[in-house]
Amino acid sequence: MARLNLWRWGVLGLAGLYFLVPLAASVVFTVDVPGQGLTFDAYTQIFATDGFVSSLLLSLELALATIAVVLLLMVPAMVALRLGAPRLRPVVEVVCSLPLVVPPIAFVAGIGTVLKWGPDHLSRTPLFETFVAIQNPDFPFVLALAYVVMALPFVHRALDAGLRAVDVRTLVEAARSCGAGWPQALVQAVLSNLRGALLNASFLTLALVLGEFTVAQLLGFRPFAVWIVNVSGSQAQLSVAVSVLSLLVTWVLLLVLAGFGGRTRPTSRG
Amino acid sequence: MTATAVRVDTAPAARTKRRRRSLGWVAVLPLLAFVAVAFGLPAIAMLDGAFTAKDPATGATSYTLDNLTTSLKGAYLTALLGSVKLSAVSAALGTLVGLPLAQAVVSSRFRALREAVLTASGVLANFGGVPLAFAFVATLGNAGVLTRHFGLTDKGWDLYSFWGLVIVYLYFLIPLMVLTITPALDGLRVQWREAAQNNGATALQYWRFVALPVLLPTLLGGFVLLFGSAFAAYATAAAMVGSSIPLVTLQIADAISGNVLVGQENVALALSLDMVLVAGLVMAVYLPLQRRSARWLA
């Protein structure tokens, strides 16, 4: 038994080393600048650096839009699948897994081609206005649309795990026989029981959007992750500092969520 | 079905049921419509573009296989093979390292450790990308902390190489393996181990003849999943190495943005189609394996 314990701690120790050293070294890298000694400039400069606030705000706005759209689409569909229409369940499952087969880079290649149809073929139709509007650099809604698609597998998994834990049909019937109307039964009985799953789905989507680089960069927009890469050329320390912070913030958020929502059983497998 | 059978008045029940079914359609339809537009249109555009050639002189378009054959020749083929090699090597290493790590976590008595590792794995497996690349640049890059401290450059270390990328990729592949294999390890019954011990089996024999055969579908499925994940990764490589290493994702990005040659957009779409085919193959192998492992471990 003692040998087993030794083996286990050895494995855990090595893994801890591999996973923690880059984080620790990054912190050292940002505060111990060659030729300057110990300095916290990289962290104090963050807010003053051109583009930080605007790109972070853009990413947060995109995340909010993505979460709103993906939940509005997925929650009614998933609840309805439990209530009736079970035959549609495999359809929805396949549809939500499709984005896994198309890597982001291939997806963005397709999006870019579609967006080029705008000026090429549609310039005389009202659709052209839509194409221009969704590519507005202040708020590129096309990114939110792409992120909704990319978030579908995560959100499906999170909601499915949440719904598996509650008996939707019984809940609705109980609420109905207590005199609740359909909307009340759905909102107060079902949604309040899904709070954990909804939070889980939202946080996973938030993390996805905040870190997303591929689609945004190749479509020429500049949210947070793209800004980090752009700024890294001139300010290496700063880009590493922001990277470490963003990694830690996401990590803490999801840890908090796991402690909050997964007390009964681990739901954060995603 | 049984619920309606025991009811006395079937007519209202049937009506409720019908209403529920139509409600189901009404609620699912927006989702399907959205996916058809936001996912279907780009997918069709990619498929169409991969088989289309535009004559630069006349501007006329015609269907052709040229893009696909170009995407499987020369530098593009090198990139495709480079991606396959990188993904295979890092997926194999990720599987080999992930299994003992997951076993160590599963067999631990500390519930908090288990929760922390699984949550951290969830974060690291999916949300590495750019921050991950910079963390490694700061650690093992040319001016990185460990590189300077130990003088690794003189010893031939280079982060911006094949093995450098493997080390970085493992940072999100190992957690992915831990996530995939943990439910399967949880499903290994204590009774199986006890039965093996009662029959005089050593720990090694238990693993060789009982645990590993049960875990094999999950392990293979995990390997395939890791392969797919490494194959599709772009942000980490782009932020780290630019395009100094031939990878198919970097080639697509270059071709889309016209970095190397102008007018390669359709080859980029053909390369994307190649990637989708590989990813589809990955899923086609993964899903049956997952179903098989679920049968044992239910």
Please tell me the predicted confidence (pLDDT) of residue A263. 44
pLDDT band at A4 (very low <50, low <70, confident <90, very high): low
Please tell me the predicted confidence (pLDDT) of residue B7. 45
**Residue A231 backbone phi and psi in degrees, to 5:** -80, -15
- For the segment B125-137, what is each residue's pLDDT rounded down to a tens digit? 776 688 888 888 8
Please tell me the predicted confidence (pLDDT) of residue B167. 92
Structure-block tokens of residue B108: 């631990």
**Residue A115 backbone phi and psi in degrees, to 5:** -65, -30
The whole-angstrom separation of Cα A235 and Cα A228 is: 10
- For the segment A153-208, what is each residue's pLDDT rounded down to a tens digit? 989 988 988 888 888 888 888 888 888 887 788 888 888 888 888 988 898 898 88
**What residues of chain B lie within 8 A of the CB of A101, using their CB?**
276, 279-280, 283
Which residues have CB under 8 Å from A8's CB, separation 6+?
B104, B107, B108
Coil/strand/helix, residue B6: coil
Q: Give the CA dihedral B281, B282, B283, B285, nearest 10 degrees.
A: 80
**Residue B54 backbone phi and psi in degrees, to 5:** -110, 125
pTM of the model as a whole:
0.84
Beta bridge partners of B62: B53
* Among the partner residues A149, A259, A268, nearest to B122 by beta-carbon distance: A268
Question: For residue A139, is pLDDT > 60?
Answer: yes
Q: What DSSP string runs through B169-215?
A: HHHHHHHHHHHHHHHHHHHS-HHHHHHHHHTT--HHHHIIIIIHHHH
Place of tokens 């996912």: B39
Binary contact (A11, B104; C-beta < 8 A): yes
- For the segment B83-94, what is each residue's pLDDT rounded down to a tens digit? 999 999 999 999
Q: Quick one: closest CA in B to A216, which residue?
A: B235
Q: What DSSP string runs through B204-257?
A: HHHIIIIIHHHHHHHHHHHHHHHHHHHHH--HHHHHHHTTSS--HHHHHHHHHT
Distance from CA of B43 to the nearest CA of A (A): 6
Q: Is A50 left (phi over 0), alpha (psi -120 to 50) or beta?
A: beta
Sign (positive/negative) of CA torsion B106, B111, B113, B114?
Answer: positive
Mean pLDDT of A55-68: 93
- Evaluate whether B180 touches B222 at the Cβ level (below 8 Å): yes
Question: For residue B236, is pLDDT > 80?
Answer: yes
Q: Is B285 touching A (CB cutoff 8 A)?
A: no
Q: Among A28-37, A240-249, B27-36, B154-163, name the one with the lowest average pLDDT.
A: A28-37
Distance from CA of A252 to the nearest CA of B (A): 9
Please tell me the predicted confidence (pLDDT) of residue B2. 43
- For the segment B240-288, what is each residue's pLDDT rounded down to a tens digit? 877 678 888 888 888 887 665 656 778 888 989 999 999 888 888 888 8
* Among the partner residues A18, A25, A113, nearest to B45 by beta-carbon distance: A113
Place of tokens 């609420």: A175
Question: For residue B10, is pLDDT > 80?
Answer: no
| Cβ burial, residue A38 (10 Å; 0-12/13-18/19+) | exposed
Mean confidence (pLDDT) of chain B:
82
Structure-block tokens of residue A163: 């719904």
First to last CA, chain A: 33
Binary contact (A103, B118; C-beta < 8 A): no
Give the mutation candidate from A214, A263, A265 for the B interface (greatest B CB count, under 10 A).
A214
Structure-block tokens of residue A251: 């990590």
Listed by number, the residues of chain B in 199-258 with a beta carbon closer than 8 Å to a beta carbon of chain A are 228, 231-232, 234-235, 238-239, 249, 252-253, 256-257
Runs of H (alpha helix) within B36-161 = 41-50, 66-71, 74-106, 111-126, 129-140, 145-150
The whole-angstrom separation of Cα B30 and Cα A101 is: 22
Runs of H (alpha helix) within chain A = 2-31, 41-44, 52-83, 89-101, 104-121, 127-134, 141-165, 168-177, 182-184, 195-211, 214-219, 224-232, 236-261
**Residue A37 backbone phi and psi in degrees, to 5:** 75, -155
The whole-angstrom separation of Cα A158 and Cα A268 is: 8
The whole-angstrom separation of Cα B271 and Cα A214 is: 16
Coil/strand/helix, residue B8: coil
